[in-house]
Amino acid sequence: MRSAVDNPFNPGSDVVPLVWAGRTVQLEDWRAVLRPRLIHGLPERGRTILGEPGLGKSALVRKIAAEAAENGDWVTPQIRVPSGSDPLKLVADALLQLAHAAGLASRREKRLDDLLGRVQSVAASGVSLALRESRGPNPHVALTQLLVEIGLAAMSKGVVCLVHVDEVQNISDDAALSQLLIALGDAITHRTTVTVPGGLEVEQSLPIAVYLTGLPEFEDRAGAKKGATFARRFATTVLQAIDDDDLTQALHEFVIHGWETADGAGRSTRVHMTQDAVATLVDLCRGEPFLFQLAGQQAWYAGQGPLITADQVAAGWRTAQREATAHVERILGRLPQRERELLEAMAELPAADRRLTTIAHRAGFSTAAAAGPTSQRLDTVRGIIQRGKKYSFRHRAVEAYLTSDWPEVE
């Protein structure tokens, strides 16, 4: 009845999970703002979605891309940037594929053939192309021009072109980062003149949506180095834990209708969850999408029958506990020492005493002001804490790990 093949939960990365929770603000931004505005030729900034590991950045944009593709939009695959690699090559390659899908290659225009040839050179040589071929424009210019051509073709078809570059924090080369942001930014802000019914000529933006996803460190590099231009061209969101209500809602299907599975004999049966099981699962995962999938996966395996109980959720979690611990330790382990010390000092204090002065003193800062930059980063860049008169945790798994026995379960 409950087999591995039927298990709808999947803690693996880079797939859109079957059991989806929340992120309605970001999904609505795409559905109700970004896409409609682009279709109407209105200008929109690119979107940068950052967050600590496992918060669902990649899954979110893959879900948006899948929805876009279903609408007939043209989407790149997830362009994942491995550490230290040249993003221009990867983006050039993805744009060439889009150009083919858009039929640009088959138009047999000399201008387009030349352009595709130049982008092929970028795909082969990347940012170093500029050094080897002193003649000709920079690689980023070719990328912008091709993206503009794709955007024009998309416009004439009434669809959007969506570009998704993931793991952007891995772009370590300044020149490559700068060229990439300029190439994408120039295409987003490109205006074209179209003639509307009645013969009037108006300027419109191209229907190009750019999503950049990665770890929060990216903001430091892009923000500080590229300054105002980057901020004007890309709107940044730092993802937070998913609300318990949204997680509960996501499991509602199991409570009400049950999750459909095939029983091997050609019949389908349904796997239900008790309300207690849902509450236990939601409580254990602390808003972490990765832990949500992990807990769900193990709860599914913890029994065979058509009903997932709270006991099974707890039993499943015990097998996942080591991984849950490792997950939070990975998040903490990435933090610079001062940031970790501040979090630990905060966790040691009762919630009512978490004021900056007290935390700063306990963490060994000379003054509250000296702890300012560190606490600001933990708040605005990483979204792990919330500053205010009293400080609190936004990353509830980090909080639970530092302040209680979690992830241990009775």
The yes or no reply on residue 207 touching ligand ATP (CB under 6 A) is no
Q: How close are the terminal C-alpha atoms of the chain, in Å?
A: 27
The least distance separating Mg ion from the CB of residue 56, rounded to whole angstroms, comes to 8
Among residues 297, 274, 275, which one has the least CA distance to residue 285? 297
Inter-CA distances, 183 with 59, 73, 190, 213, Å: 25, 21, 11, 17
CA atoms of 77 and 100, how far apart (whole Å): 14
Rule CB under 5 A: which of 8-67 touch Mg ion? 58
Give the residue with the Cβ less far from ligand ATP, 21 or 182.
21
Contact pick of 1, 6, 20, 380 for ligand ATP (by CB under 6 A): 20
The yes or no reply on residue 53 touching ligand ATP (CB under 6 A) is yes
Q: How many residues bind Mg ion (CB under 5 A)?
A: 1
Beta bridge partners of 209: 162
Q: Give one DSSP letter per residue of 256-296, joined into a string.
A: HT-EEEE-SSS-EEEEEE-HHHHHHHHHHHTT-HHHHHHHH
The least distance separating Mg ion from the CB of residue 322, rounded to whole angstroms, comes to 22
φ, ψ (nearest 5 deg) of residue 119: -70, -30
Q: Which stretch binds ligand ATP (CB under 6 A): 51-59, 185-193, 262-270, 309-317?
A: 51-59
The least distance separating ligand ATP from the CB of residue 243, rounded to whole angstroms, comes to 11
Contact pick of 125, 145, 178, 293 for ligand ATP (by CB under 6 A): 293
CA atoms of 212 and 57, how far apart (whole Å): 9
Give the residue with the Cβ less far from Mg ion, 166 or 339.
166
Give the residue with the Cβ less far from Mg ion, 62 or 190.
62
Instruction: Enter the DSSP assignment of 346.
Output: H
Contact pick of 259, 292, 393, 401 for ligand ATP (by CB under 6 A): 292
The yes or no reply on residue 216 touching ligand ATP (CB under 6 A) is no
Give the residue with the Cβ less far from ligand ATP, 18 or 105.
18
Coil vs helix vs strand at 170: helix
Q: Give one DSSP letter per residue of 32-95, joined into a string.
A: IIIHHHHHTT----EEEEE-STTSSHHHHHHHHHHHHHHTT-EE---EE--TT--HHHHHHHHH
Token output for 218: 């990216």
Assess contact for 327 and 401: CB atoms under 8 A. no
Contact pick of 4, 5, 12, 389 for ligand ATP (by CB under 6 A): 12
Rule CB under 6 A: which of 231-290 touch ligand ATP? 289-290
φ, ψ (nearest 5 deg) of residue 319: -75, -20
The CB-nearest residue to Mg ion is 58
Give the residue with the Cβ less far from Mg ion, 55 or 182.
55
Rule CB under 6 A: which of 120-159 touch ligand ATP? none
Rule CB under 6 A: which of 57-96 touch ligand ATP? 57-60
Q: Which does 51 bind (CB under 5 to 8 A by kind): Mg ion, ligand ATP, none?
A: ligand ATP
Q: Which stretch binds ligand ATP (CB under 6 A): 33-41, 49-57, 120-128, 188-196?
A: 49-57
Contact pick of 2, 7, 11, 159 for ligand ATP (by CB under 6 A): 11
Q: Give one DSSP letter per residue of 324-343, joined into a string.
A: HHHHHHHHHHTS-HHHHHHH
The least distance separating Mg ion from the CB of residue 220, rounded to whole angstroms, comes to 18
Give the residue with the Cβ less far from Mg ion, 16 or 349.
16
Q: Give one DSSP letter per residue of 212-267, joined into a string.
A: EEE-THHHIIIIIIHHHHHHHHEEEEE--PPPHHHHHHHHHHHHHT-EEEE-SSS-
Give the residue with the Cβ less far from Mg ion, 125 or 236.
236
Among residues 186, 163, 211, which one has the least CA distance to residue 60? 211
Give the residue with the Cβ less far from ligand ATP, 13 or 204.
13
The least distance separating ligand ATP from the CB of residue 150, rounded to whole angstroms, comes to 26
The least distance separating ligand ATP from the CB of residue 403, rounded to whole angstroms, comes to 23
Give the residue with the Cβ less far from ligand ATP, 149 or 288.
288
Contact pick of 1, 6, 8, 13 for ligand ATP (by CB under 6 A): 13
CA atoms of 110 and 166, how far apart (whole Å): 33
Residues forming contacts to ligand ATP in the complex (CB under 6 A) are 10-14, 17, 19-23, 51, 53-60, 215, 289-290, 292-293
Residues forming contacts to Mg ion in the complex (CB under 5 A) are 58
